[in-house]
């Protein structure tokens, strides 16, 4: 039997790498093996899932090349407070060079999404917010509406105070249970947190949280609203 080759999903907008199986890609993501192979060989961006499929972790150079070739309809670019550094509403960062554009990607530093520019580190969420919504005071903090710090797209950011942030996120100090349900509302599985749900189902936490908070009209990667907060599910089925 031929040895199965590894498959990874790389989400360039978040710089997140997740190892998956061919079976998962087929049964859950709806990508047949032959299509998956073409995605990998041609290094094609999957617009619906917002990811690339690769055989191994990417180098910095490869990441820059792949994030540069993405075409996002109606993407808006603004210059950040750092001269020469531009960011889009989808949180892609770039600078102008003599030969074109040099792209940067967000990475986690001490648990916060960051950008390294001219040998210094900056909080990516603050750069995006100020580019699209205006200046921040030093006491202002940025809250990710969907609860995922790594999602620094402009539409997901809001300004708040430290006191208000505590109110918004205080309930999360205790992990909130999540249920995985079938198309007809039947209970398939239950998890202690979105992190556990991500580890077991392999859906990313962004998708799980958006399902739980019912933030989308359509869930293309799943086909229906497959996750709910456990307490809300219990209330509906009491």
The backbone torsions φ and ψ at residue 160, rounded to the nearest 5 degrees and listed phi first, read -155, 175
- Summarised one tens digit per residue, pLDDT across range 121-168 is 999 999 999 999 999 988 888 888 887 888 999 999 998 876 666 666
**Better-predicted residue by pLDDT, 229 or 92:** 92
Does pLDDT of 57 surpass 80? Answer: yes
From the list 158, 166, 176, 165, the residue with the least C-alpha distance to 212 is: 176
pLDDT at 172: 53
Which whole-number Å values give the CA distances from 220 to 124, 171, 207, 226, in the listed order? 27, 29, 10, 11
Which whole-number Å values give the CA distances from 39 to 43, 67, 91, 116, 186, in the listed order? 6, 15, 23, 30, 34
**Better-predicted residue by pLDDT, 115 or 190:** 115
pLDDT at 22: 84
Average of per-residue pLDDT values in the chain = 86
Q: What angle do CA 114, 83, 78 make, to 5 degrees?
A: 75
The backbone torsions φ and ψ at residue 87, rounded to the nearest 5 degrees and listed phi first, read -140, 145
- Could you tell me what percent of the chain has a pLDDT over 90? 44
pLDDT at 196: 85
Average pLDDT, integer, range 60-66: 94
Does pLDDT of 173 surpass 50? Answer: no
From the list 152, 203, 147, 151, the residue with the least C-alpha distance to 175 is: 147
pLDDT at 226: 87
pLDDT at 230: 86
Q: For the chain, give percent helix, strand, coil, nearest 5.
A: 30, 25, 40
For 112, other C-beta atoms within 10 Å of its C-beta total 17
Task: Look up residue 125 and give its two tokens.
Answer: 């969420």
Domains and CATH numbers, the chain: 7-66 (no CATH), 72-170 (3.90.75.20), 174-236 (1.10.10)
This prediction's pTM: 0.70
Does pLDDT of 238 surpass 90? Answer: no
């Amino acid at each position: 039997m031929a040895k199965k080759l590894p498959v990874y999903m790389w989400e360039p907008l978040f710089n997140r790498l997740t190892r998956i199986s061919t079976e998962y890609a087929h049964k859950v993501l709806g990508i047949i093996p032959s299509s998956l192979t073409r995605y990998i060989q041609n290094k094609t961006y999957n617009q619906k899932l917002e990811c690339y499929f690769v055989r191994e972790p990417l180098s910095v150079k490869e990441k820059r090349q792949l994030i540069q070739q993405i075409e996002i309809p109606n993407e808006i670019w603004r210059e950040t407070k750092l001269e020469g550094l531009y960011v889009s509403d989808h949180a892609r960062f770039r600078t102008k060079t003599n030969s074109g554009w040099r792209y940067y990607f967000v990475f986690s530093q001490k648990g916060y999404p960051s950008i390294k520019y001219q040998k210094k580190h900056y909080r990516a969420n603050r750069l995006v917010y100020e580019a699209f919504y205006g200046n921040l005071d030093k006491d202002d903090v940025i809250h990710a509406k969907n609860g995922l710090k790594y999602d620094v797209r402009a539409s997901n950011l809001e300004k708040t105070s430290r006191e208000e942030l505590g109110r918004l996120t205080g309930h999360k100090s205790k992990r909130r249970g999540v249920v995985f349900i079938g198309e007809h509302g039947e209970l398939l599985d239950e998890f202690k947190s979105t992190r556990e749900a991500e580890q077991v189902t392999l859906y990313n936490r962004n998708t799980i949280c958006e399902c739980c908070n019912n933030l989308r009209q359509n869930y293309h990667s799943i086909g229906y609203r497959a996750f709910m907060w456990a307490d809300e599910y219990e209330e509906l089925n009491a």
